[in-house]
Amino acid sequence: MALSVALYFGGLPWWGAAAAGVLVLAFFLAAPRSGRYVVQCEGSVAPLRRDERSRAIRDKAARNAFVLTLVSVAGLTIVYGRVLSAPVPVAALGGVLGAAAVTYAVSELCLRRMS
């Protein structure tokens, strides 16, 4: 609620601030049940912690996204530098970053379900 009010007064339209508030609320309701965090309720202000399994999964997913980014940028460099002799368009780099984000999310989901 406070985040929505702050975003609204920060210049975001009311519907954007409401959507952000709903997303944050959904995260806090779903996070303890997602299997991504270990809930430690004993006297802590922040009860959600990551265990070693979650860290290993996160590291593998980040590695997969990083390798995809390196291979994609190298491919763009070869295609636009040698074959087309033109500058790399910004949209292509945005596509590489988008593909890396999707790769991270899918990789993390698959690794979580496999283990």
SS3 30: helix
User: Rounded distance, CA 36 to CA 108, Å?
Assistant: 10
Q: What percent of the chain has pLDDT over 90?
A: 37
pLDDT of residue 33: 72
pLDDT at 45: 65
Phi–psi pair at 105, nearest 5 degrees: -65, -45
Residue 43, both tokens: 């006297």
- Taking the whole predicted model, whether its pTM rises above 0.85 is answered as no
Q: What is the pLDDT of residue 19?
A: 92
Q: How far is CA 75 from CA 14, 61, 80, 110, in A?
A: 42, 21, 8, 26
| Better pLDDT: 84 or 54 | 84
Give 18-55 pLDDT, tens digit per residue.
999 899 888 878 877 766 666 667 766 666 666 788 88
Mean pLDDT of 79-98: 91
Strands 38-39 and 48-49: antiparallel
Write down the domain spans for the chain.
51-114
pLDDT at 48: 64
Average pLDDT, the chain: 86
